[in-house]
Amino acid sequence: MSSPTPIRITGVTTLVVNAEMRNWIFVKVQTDQDGLYGWGEASLNWKTRAVAATVEDLEPLLIGKDPRDIEQIVRILNKHSYYKLGIIGATAISGIEHALWDIFGKSVGLPVWRLLGGQTRNEVRVYTHLGLGDMRSVYETFDEGALRDKALAVVEKGYDALKVVFIPYSHYSVDIPSRRHVGRLMKVLREAVGESVDIMVDFHGRPATVAGALQYIEELAPYSPMFCEEPVQPGDTQALRMVTERANCPIASGERLVGYKEFEPLFEQKALHIIQPDLNHTGGILEGKKIAAAAEQAMMGVAPHNPNGPIAGAAALHYDISIPNFVIQEEMSGAVPWYDDVVSTPMRRVGSAWQIPHAPGLGVEINEAEAAKHPFKPEVMHTLSAVLGDGTIVDW
């Protein structure tokens, strides 16, 4: 399908699919070549309408451009918007950028990972969450018995790594019962899954102090977590470095950072061990490649964040194949019963690893008629539960 003549973008649209606990925002970039279009994803929890409107606002900057000029187009979207776009704008650009890569791959008959520099591994290790896509299980499992049962269900599906979110809502001090409860939960989890399964603990930035984060880590470390994620709020590089220097286990962070510039201080100060860019939010695959290259020089691994939808997963798969310092990939395939009715993806899991795809582009196709059966709905506002007993609002 390769063409010596320019390809021109003729339109950009969004398709919102409500996946029960969150909305997927699919982005379709159309061209003047018959049958040549690309799919991307720009999902952002609780910001669906804002992101979709931003894509619409950006569309005029794309019309008439050759979709294969990805670096130039992303530069236009960032610079010609004038005001800094923030997470909403960066997410919109990420979805558009994914679709451009899809078009590029299709236009030359190659999978995107080939265009990113080729293959650096034979498979992509993945992990999932409690509940296998049920977000209530992810964020609301604080009972020891339920934790054990849900973890074993994940292992029974063939995964050898899983993530949990059971750090209590915290503030400037951590009480002894809360710390001990975290220790008991981790002990139950490790005894249930054994030492051959990796466990990641997501703090969600809940502790408001370095000391509080370290007190929880002290409870977790004896049970060898693969990493503790986002132990403090993003943006305070010095606090993160202090945790990393004192923690007796690997520390990871980065999902809420936008673009290379926000990651750069972490590399300069060697503020963590594992970086977690989200290709759905940080500006796209090209920006993710720049982040991974800098992380490698800073002796950091890359474990991309992705609790999003199927196209975001496909973009992550191609990215992971192409970067040498990849560690493990978060994934949410099969998050709803009708997943395979709406989308065909290149992700094929054997055990706890995705296999290498060979279809052109991202290898994704959307059944738009089936997708239309699941229109936008307001998402569950988990954040409303982040309130202490005295009414103090804390980080979710």
Active-site residues, by number, are 204, 305
CB atoms within 10 A of CB 67: 27
Place of tokens 């050898």: 160
Interacting residues of 392 by C-beta distance below 8 A, sequence separation 6+: 171
Which of the 8 DSSP states describes residue 60? G
- Euclidean distance between CA atoms 253 and 271, whole angstroms: 9
Helices 285-297, 259-268: crossing angle, 10 deg rounding? 10
The number of C-alpha atoms within 13 Å of 241 and in the hemisphere containing its C-beta is: 11
Helix (H, G, I), strand (E, B) or coil at 113: helix
Q: How far is the C-alpha of 67 from the C-alpha of 108, rounded, in Å?
A: 13
> Tokens 């503030």 correspond to what residue?
171
Asked if 295 contacts 325 with a C-beta cutoff of 8 angstroms, the reply is yes
**Of the candidates 25, 34, 35, 8, which has an alpha carbon nearest to the alpha carbon of residue 100?**
8
- Which residue type, as a one-letter code, is found at position 92? A
Residue 73 CB contacts under 8 Å (≥ 6 apart), including other chains: 62, 65, 67, 96, 97, 100
219-256 burial by CB neighbour count: b if 16+ within 10 A, else e?
Answer: bbbebebbbbbbbbbbeebebbbbbbeebebbbbbbbb
Q: CA 49 to CA 339: how far, in whole Å? A: 22
Are 89 and 57 contacting, i.e. CB atoms less than 8 angstroms apart?
no
Coil vs helix vs strand at 157 = coil
Element (H or E) spanning 185, and its range? helix 176-193
Extract the tokens encoding 19.
């996946």
Cβ atoms of 288 and 315 closer than 8 Å: no
What's the rounded Cα separation, in Å, for the pair 303 and 320?
9
